[in-house]
Amino acid sequence: MKMIYILNGPNLNLLGTREPEIYGAETLAMVEEKCTIKAKALGLSIDFRQSNVEGELINWIHEARLKAQGIIINAGAFTHTSVALHDALKGVGLPTIEVHLSNVYKRESFRHHSYISPAAHGVICGFGPHSYELALDGIVSVLNTTRKG
């Protein structure tokens, strides 16, 4: 079974209570449960993690190089600030999908720039928690294309 790391950045542990009008009422545990079900249906296994610490996310990306076939990442606010996450993702060279719960382009202008996007195969945003399930479909597509190519 192909392993996919699903990495979540700062403040996503507050999902369900932090600005529910933007991020929804589902908790991160609920998102993880849905991802586990979706991944199993796609023939994948997942390792779902969250940290408020940039360095920990970088360490997990490095770990994924040896243990996973792909990464789905919601880097939260680090999306807009972290060259280090960009470099880590580029460095490991795994298929990566960037995820955001909200449509970042309908929000503050500082959210319109992503350091993650240039290192990702694709970006999914604006579908709330369902964005993660769409990202799982996306990573399967990337893996199948990479394998055939």
Residues that are catalytic: 23, 100
Cα 71 to Cα 53, 64, 109, 119: the distances in Å are: 18, 8, 26, 11
Q: State the burial class of residue 28 (Cβ atoms within 10 Å of its Cβ: 0-12, 13-18, 19+).
A: middle
What 8-state DSSP symbol labels residue 77? Answer: G
Q: Which of 105, 42, 19, 20 is nearest to 6 (CA)?
A: 42
* Token pair in block for residue 91: 């460095």
Grouping H, G, I as helix, E, B as strand and the rest as coil, residue 124 is strand
Rounded-to-integer distance, Cα 83 and Cα 119, Å: 10
